[in-house]
Structure 1
């Protein structure tokens, strides 16, 4: 079991978890918020784990999310759904100047381009674009997996969750050493 899961099951008691920290994450510009997202796939159980962490220009955590959904274990669609959930979280938090950052270049490219795609993947991308159209300013960018460790850790943990875990201005202690 992951440290986050153990922490939640033990009523919030801190449990250490070893993951190599990344020092290459960069803060967004002033007045912007950066939402890093990732997906983890459990093919055996047809589940997708989603991890999102939102931070401000000082690097302070605005919110974190772990969510698990039953979905065909398709990595491309899983990553698109994770980007959609990150966009939804930003909208729910009322953030209007956002940078989305993930390690799925196909999702980043699809959101950046104007082409319509009526596949399941394309419909998720369309939903992302629709939400982003309501933001004052936004961008989406690719980051290597090693710089997206927190979102990846949250996504892997989400596969063990039976319900969503959303923390505002907080994060599970199992990722503290990664910040």
Structure 2
């Protein structure tokens, strides 16, 4: 049977075998019991992250950011008369994905925010691609224009910029997002350092508390301090 298995099947078998061995060691030496479904989930997550790393290296072999500004650890304002929408994804332990979206003006003030939650998996790239899709849906629903979408998933942004879409679920989803962007005037997507995406990251975690909400004022208290700190740095 193994002789007829594909490389992908062999990879799954070997990774699950390793996870079983690791769970066995935890049981013997640390008296820690690991449920079977958790063993399999850990194996599949490892495979997903491995493939994500391979694709990211292929898309961006130099592993360099496009600009100094994108590497900044602080929020940077958009050009005059533009808005900036930041989005981030959070993978919860119960298998759900939480998404945080926040729209801000050049002076740093928040003019809109939203949370989204959906059933997901351990596919990190698919979660980030879904976050971009949710951001574009938010843009369309609210008739926004002159807007820059920023996310800290470099692999997604590189795929958009280079028009290279892997034959995966997340690759197909990014292709759809690319088509939306190509026919939208004044809407673009860019990569940003994770450290400067703290507001969206915090809101993505909060999404599990207040799922599928929209705010135009009275924003969740968990992001207010981050927003105020960012505004102090705007000249």
1:116 CA displacement: 4.1
| Structure 1 unaligned regions, length at least 5 | 1-21
1:138 CA displacement: 2.8
2:206 aligns with one of 151, 157, 162? 157
Taking CA–CA contacts closer than 8 Å with sequence separation of 6 or more, which of the two structures ends up with the larger relative contact order? Answer: 1
1:171 CA displacement: 2.1
More helix by share: 2
Change (3 A) 1:112 1:119: same
1:168 aligns with one of 202, 216, 222? 216
Q: Structure 1 length normalisation: TM-score?
A: 0.79
Distance 2:98 2:109 in 1: 24
Q: Deviations over 1:101-142 (max 9, x none)?
A: 111100111121223444210121122123223321233221
Aligned position for 2:84: 34
Select between 111-120 and 93-102 the one with higher mean Cα deviation.
111-120
Q: Does 1:121 align with 2:170?
A: yes
- For the pair shown, which has the larger CA radius of gyration, 1 or 2? 2
| Structure 2 unaligned regions, length at least 5 | 1-71, 228-235
CA RMSD of aligned residues (A): 1.9
1:148 aligns with one of 189, 197, 200? 197
Where 2:86 maps in the other structure, the secondary structure is strand
Aligned position for 1:131: 180
Distance 1:49 1:108 in 2: 20
